[in-house]
Amino acid sequence: MHTPVTSSALPDELCVERRGNVLIVRLARPAKRNALNDATVEAIDRVFSSVPDDVHAIVLHGEGAHFSAGLDLAELTERDAVQGLMHSRMWHQALDRVQFGKAPVIAALHGAVIGGGLELACAAHIRVAEPSAYYALPEGQRGIFVGGGASVRLPRLIGVPLMLDMMMTGRVIKAEEGKPLGFSQYLVEEGRALQTALELAAKVAGNARMTNYALMHVLPRIADIGQEQGLMMEALTAAIAQSAPEAKARIRDFLEKRGGKVEVK
């Protein structure tokens, strides 16, 4: 069943639709290539910080020919240094809500995935790209710096040298080249990213809640700390996960031959 989730509080630039236990969030400003103005970023913050408990996965995509052309440059006018700091922190808060929210986020990418659009895509947990997708950080050419978390999230996906190259030289990476570099986990046929993202969302939504929670909230933190502390945090997380009745039921299902085999397709 397709249940529209309409809220008068949301601006036209962001649409949210409920489909069973999956929430679909759409950037809906195609005439401006889904450029992200403050209203949209604030709406992203609101949507991702008020995800209902019974939503188990979120799909993020863009309307029109592009995922997003990044920051709305028309709004980058006469901000002073303090306003610039606060603006960047507003992006940080919104994109933290995406990365460290209640449910895993799968981004469907096509066309421009640029600047702040790439920063938003990086906050998702799984990225599915179509061949038309391309990645760029024109901040370097515009005389500015990334401000939506790219300096933290992007090097973890593609490394500092490539990000530096993109910003210094204006290098644009196409989807096919970008997949082995870490921009996306999946590359699918043109026009298939949203459908694939929805299929992946259905799988992700079927996981035990604690597993998804650990993957979203614990794994990236373990990656940021030393080996000894990381192994201890892993052991604690493993102990909590396996003690849940849901985990015990899933393991019993396997042992009693009720499906659940690992399949090679």
The residues annotated as belonging to the active site are 119, 139
Distance of alpha carbon 96 from alpha carbon 104, whole angstroms: 12
Minimum CB separation from ligand 1HE for residue 52, in Å?
28
- Contact string 108-147 vs ligand 1HE (x = CB under 6 A): ----x-xxx---------------------xx--x---xx
Residue among 101, 104, 148, 178 that touches ligand 1HE (CB under 6 A): 148
Distance of alpha carbon 75 from alpha carbon 204, whole angstroms: 37
Nearer to ligand 1HE, 25 or 119 (CB): 119
Q: Which residue is nearest to ligand 1HE (CB)?
A: 115
**Residue-level length of the chain:** 265
Minimum CB separation from ligand 1HE for residue 23, in Å?
23
Sign for the pseudo-dihedral over CA of 159, 164, 166, 167: positive
| Site size for ligand 1HE (CB under 6 A) | 21
Strand partners, 107: 60, 127
Number of Cα atoms under 13 Å in the Cβ half of residue 228: 0
Q: Which of residues 150-209 bind ligand 1HE (CB under 6 A)?
A: none
Minimum CB separation from ligand 1HE for residue 182, in Å?
20
- Contact string 19-48 vs ligand 1HE (x = CB under 6 A): -------------xx-x-------------
Nearer to ligand 1HE, 57 or 112 (CB): 112
Minimum CB separation from ligand 1HE for residue 70, in Å?
3
Nearer to ligand 1HE, 56 or 61 (CB): 61
Please give the angle made by the CA atoms of 201, 204 and 207, to the nearest 5 degrees: 150
User: Which string of b and e fits 76-90 if b means at least 16 CB within 10 Å?
Assistant: eeeeeeeeeeebeeb
Minimum CB separation from ligand 1HE for residue 134, in Å?
9
Distance of alpha carbon 116 from alpha carbon 127, whole angstroms: 15
- Contact string 53-92 vs ligand 1HE (x = CB under 6 A): -------------x--xxxxxx----------------x-
Tell me 169's DSSP state: H
- Name which of 12, 16, 59, 97 is nearest 194 in CA terms: 59
Strand partners, 136: 114
Terminal CA-CA length for the chain: 29
Minimum CB separation from ligand 1HE for residue 190, in Å?
17
Beta carbons of 40 and 14 less than 8 angstroms apart? yes
Nearer to ligand 1HE, 79 or 142 (CB): 142
Tell me 48's DSSP state: H
Q: Which residues bind ligand 1HE (CB under 6 A)?
A: 32-33, 35, 66, 69-74, 91, 112, 114-116, 138-139, 142, 146-148
